[in-house]
A and B are shown apart, each in its own frame.
Chain A
Amino acid sequence: MIAAVTSARLAKRRSRHVKELVIEMLLLGAALVAVLTTLGIVYVLFKESWEFFKHVPLKDFLFDTQWTPLFDDAHFGIIVLLSGTLTSSLVALAVAIPLGTIIAIYLSEFASPRVREVCKPVLEMLSGVPTIVYGYFALLFVSPILQWLIPSMPGFSLLSAGLVMGIMIVPYVASLSEDAMRAVPMALREGAYAMGSTRYQTAVKVVFPAAFSGVAAAYILGISRAVGETMILAVAAGMQPNLTFNPLEPAATITAYIVQVALGDLPHGSIGYQTIFAAGLTLFLVTLSFNILGYFLRKRYREAY
């Protein structure tokens, strides 16, 4: 009788074991989707770019100063689009980094818990607004104001798009920087206060330097967001490729160009179709480098505590 019960138990155990294994494999499969996605992105971008670079030499791509892929006399200088991306990102960061840092220091070192509880959701809401709405805001609210301030201002400009993009990025920079600063141990702050420092002195001379790698990671994330942003620029910066570093002009970024092509009717396999993948690959590599840098910086500040 005991043998029967035991063998029944053993059989159940084996089938239970198989069931557990199958479930674990399924869950692992789900986790691997992330890896497959990265591989998919790399595959698609490289495959189409490979076709692209068969027709266009890499030297031209990197050094030509015109971007006119759809003309008969086609030029493929990515620098034109990169200039738009760079200029708009610089405007955005000129807004987001100072504002975000000050807000982070204020929330972490000055604000009472109640103020923080109110402000953090407001910041989260700011980052929850769809970017197309920000684009609308840039084109139909901010641009007219800029035109009123600077009469020679065109309706589409990198400045208008960049400013709004900056405000959109502030919550990311502020939230991550604040997390980094809150991670600084209280003992360090007490040491500074015990020496007669004010909150401002403690924040700026002790806490901020101690949290710097985390704050730098926040800045890097902001840069990555700015470079990858699409709709605000597609709507408010105009879609004319223009090699310029002057924010008062309209220009196209890498992302806006991809949108412009997608809105049109390009046959699959044409050179025009392939340009968006070459441009996309450039974008991907740029943001990837920033993300890797940010990842290591974040690891460093986490290890420090």
Chain B
Amino acid sequence: MTMPDTSAIRALVQQHKRYDKMFAILGLLCLLVGLFTLLALLVDMGIRGVPRIDWGFFTEFPSRRAANAGILSAWVGSALVMLVTAAAAIPVGVAAGVYLEEYAGKNWFTDIIEINISNLAGVPSIVYGLLALGLFVYQFNLGQSILSAGLALALLILPVIIVATREAIRAIPSQIREGAYALGATRWQTVHDHILPYSTSGILTGVIIGMARAIGETAPIITIGALTFIAFLPPAPFSGNPPAGLFDWLFSPFTVMPIQMFNWTSRPEEAFQINAAAAGFVLVFMTLGMNGLAIWLRYRLRKNLKW
């Protein structure tokens, strides 16, 4: 037999592997661009904003004097809006997910629902703001209030929760379901006693991610008409004179953290930009913290899954 040209093969392979290595380096560089941006963002806001954060920052209202301004009305507003969002989105989202996985048949009707969910996930958040403005604020007369904002955000994160619920339910092996049915359980009993408990951590992960998204949303809330300068808190039930009703806070004007940051960012004075950095740091801390929690939960989940 003839001698194959091994040295030529070797040279060719070395040349190709050089391109291989160059691409690998390029890939890493691109990843680093993303990482660097994240770090630059955090460090810049941290350096400018963290020194500004003190107890007063959280307990003061915004003010025309930057040094005295705080985020009290903003974070309270955010918390209350999140309450409404959670109360609306979680039951509806989980119920919808359960329906689609356990009850729905494969027909055109289900297809329509699924197409809608998939489409809504891609609708820009400001359109949700327009929906809330036209429908909740004016048509249903809920006003430019915490209730309208909470409902708008609930609709916004609904697809996230539905998808998370469906994936958590799909991870349950069919043997478990069949075992329950074989013992004579009804569909609801199977869902209530088995499906929901076993999918709770997956659903929880989705809820956390959804809420993290909702906290950071600005556009829909501005569109509803949340004011940017609020120096009072929504009335707590039974407080004040005459005493506020149980649900008066739902209909109160309000502001939220991202809007406060937006307001301060738009001011040219350096002192307000520092406030913006501080507010941004708090906001990012909360959202990244929640996202990190969700990722950690998902990781723990995967390790513990012993079917």
- Whether chain B is bound by chain A comes out as yes
Residues of chain A touching chain B, judged by Cβ–Cβ distance below 8 Å, are 16, 19-20, 23-24, 26-35, 37-38, 40-41, 43-45, 47-48, 99, 102-103, 105-107, 110-111, 119, 121-126, 128-137, 139-141, 167, 170-171, 196, 198-201, 203, 221, 224, 227-231, 234-235, 255, 258-259, 262-263, 268, 276-277, 280, 283-284, 287-288, 290-292, 294-295
B186 engages A140 (CB within 8 Å):
no
In the complex, which range does the number of interface residues on chain B fall in? Answer: 35 or more
Q: Are B126 and A23 in contact (CB under 8 A)?
A: no
Interchain CB contact under 8 A, B124 and A31: no
Inter-chain residue pair count (beta carbon < 8 A): 271
A259 B283 Cβ-Cβ under 8 A: no
Q: Which of chain B's residues has its CB closest to A292's CB?
A: B119
- The verdict on A110 contacting B24 (CB below 8 Å), with A231-B218, A255-B126 known, is yes
Which residues from B are CB-within-8-Å of A283?
124, 126-127
Q: Is B26 an interface residue (CB 8 A)?
A: yes
Within the complex, which residue of B30, B34, B98, B217 is in contact with A130, where a contact is CB–CB below 8 Å? B217
Given A20-B187, A106-B31, A136-B45, A40:B99 Cβ within 8 A: no
Judged by DSSP, the binding face of B is helix
Q: Hey, which bits of chain B sit against chain A, CB under 8 A?
A: 13, 16-17, 19-20, 23-24, 26-28, 30-31, 33-35, 37-38, 40-41, 44-45, 91-93, 95-96, 98-100, 103-104, 112-113, 115-120, 122-131, 133-135, 138-139, 155, 158-159, 162, 186-188, 209, 212-213, 215-219, 222-225, 228, 258, 261-262, 265-266, 273, 276-277, 280, 283-284, 287-288, 290-292, 295
Given A38-B119, A125-B291, A258-B130, are A132 and B218 neighbors across the interface (CB < 8 Å)?
yes
List 15 additional contacts besides A47-B134, A167-B37, A259-B223; criterion CB under 8 Å.
A20-B188, A34-B158, A130-B215, A131-B216, A137-B44, A198-B17, A199-B24, A200-B16, A224-B124, A228-B125, A228-B126, A228-B127, A231-B219, A235-B262, A291-B122
The contact of A23 among B34, B93, B188, by CB within 8 Å, is B188
